[in-house]
């Protein structure tokens, strides 16, 4: 067993975001649409442990969905 196999990381793919009042969320029913603050052409952001590490684009092939990394974000110097 490798030393890194037991390390857990949180991985997020952010397609967009929206701010809604709680009263609007409570009124939603199945099939409700939430507009995101991004277009389908904007890059998807990839976060590891809440730190932006890459950007990419979503690829859909039939019922399979994947993410193609298009840019690795350089870590900012402190």
How distant is the alpha carbon of residue 18 from its chain centre? 13
Q: Which residue has the higher pLDDT, 62 or 39?
A: 62
pLDDT tens digits, 44-68: 999 999 999 999 999 999 999 999 9
- Domains of the chain plus CATH, in order, are 11-72 (2.30.330.10)
Instruction: Supply φ then ψ for residue 46, to 5 degrees.
Output: -115, 120
Query: The pTM is what?
Result: 0.72
Q: What are the CA-CA distances from residue 36 to residues 9, 15, 17 (Å)?
A: 26, 8, 5
């Amino acid at each position: 067993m490798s030393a890194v196999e037991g390390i857990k990381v949180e991985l997020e793919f952010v397609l967009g975001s929206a701010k809604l009042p709680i009263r609007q969320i409570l009124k939603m029913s199945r099939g409700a649409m939430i507009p995101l603050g991004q277009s389908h052409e904007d890059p998807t952001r990839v976060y590891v442990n809440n730190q932006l590490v890459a950007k990419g684009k979503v690829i859909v092939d039939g019922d399979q969905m994947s993410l193609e990394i298009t840019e690795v974000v350089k870590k900012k110097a402190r």
